[in-house]
Structure 1
Amino acid sequence: MTEQTYRWRRLDHPGLELMRITAREDAVEARSTIIDAGETPFALRCHWRLDGDWRSRLLRIEREDGHSLTIERREHGWRIDGEERPELADCLEIDVSATPFCNGLALRGLKHQPSELTALYVDAADLSVQPSRQRYDFVGPQRWRYVDLGVADGFRALLDFDTDGLVMRYEGLFERV
């Protein structure tokens, strides 16, 4: 078992995430606290349960105002707050808007091959969910270009990853501290 702590700061406005990842051979658990002091400030606690291949199995998000969201991967799709959501069945992985952690999960899901995917996008400010298309283009060793083809259509950013597959720098939005 290994435990590691990561911190990311926002680059576009004040904000910080503190994440603790515990990895075992057959499962990974990640717990984070996110404070976003942007135009619509919020704070979140996220608890991820991943399988040994780093695929999301369960995510619980709690906002400081008491609102929460539970996302669970099922055999043929996703369950949101206990309710089956067939329109999310094609989603490969979860993408929470307030953390760069998700980009590493998406790349693992794509087996580190340039490709497109549909993500289960979570707007962290209001905890709404919807499918959203994304593309990852290989740029160089540990560097990828993220292209949003859905919710934020046309948005692009360069992402630098460490050797563990976690974001070091997300152009214009996040950087590891």
Structure 2
Amino acid sequence: MATELVLHLDTAQDQRQLLPEESELRKRMKMHCLGLSSLDRTIAKQKARVRQLQEGDANTAYFHLIARGRKWRNFITSLNVHGHLVADHDGMEAVLHAHFEGVFGTAASTGNTLNFQALGIEPIDLADQEVPFSMEEVWAAIQAMPADKAPGPDGFTGAFYKSTWHLIRLEVMEAIQAFTQG
């Protein structure tokens, strides 16, 4: 109703000079329409926020639509370098590497060394640090664990490892070897 009145007064204004009462009414109605329009935008934003909160992290089509849009907004298709457009991946990688190498530079060697023997510190042979753990070493570590505490986030206590060692020892050793050998 208010929008129709404003449009009617706009049309009348194109044809003739509005009376002061009509101008004031048009101004008030236009402000009223702008206020309602702003309220509609606010409601739409709130509805979108509620939808984002409800469905944003769920594995829905809406989530994938948002993620795809974000991916395309963040995707760099080309770089403009000194007036030349670089669009291939390898070229952009080389340009970025050269730029940041110029910004950050390269590490300079200090040239300083420490002579530990002159300080009276004898070198230690660390060759045995790379030897794989033996089953006896692991079993000794398990026996030293407190029975009522879990060493990690899995919740298995020392009592569990001690009571099931004969069943799980091969899997535990495989896991330790995979971890230590990278």
**Shorter-chain TM-score above 0.5:** no
More strand by share: 1
More helix by share: 2
Which of the two has higher C-alpha Rg? 2
Which one scores higher on RCO, CA 8 angstroms, separation ≥ 6? Answer: 1
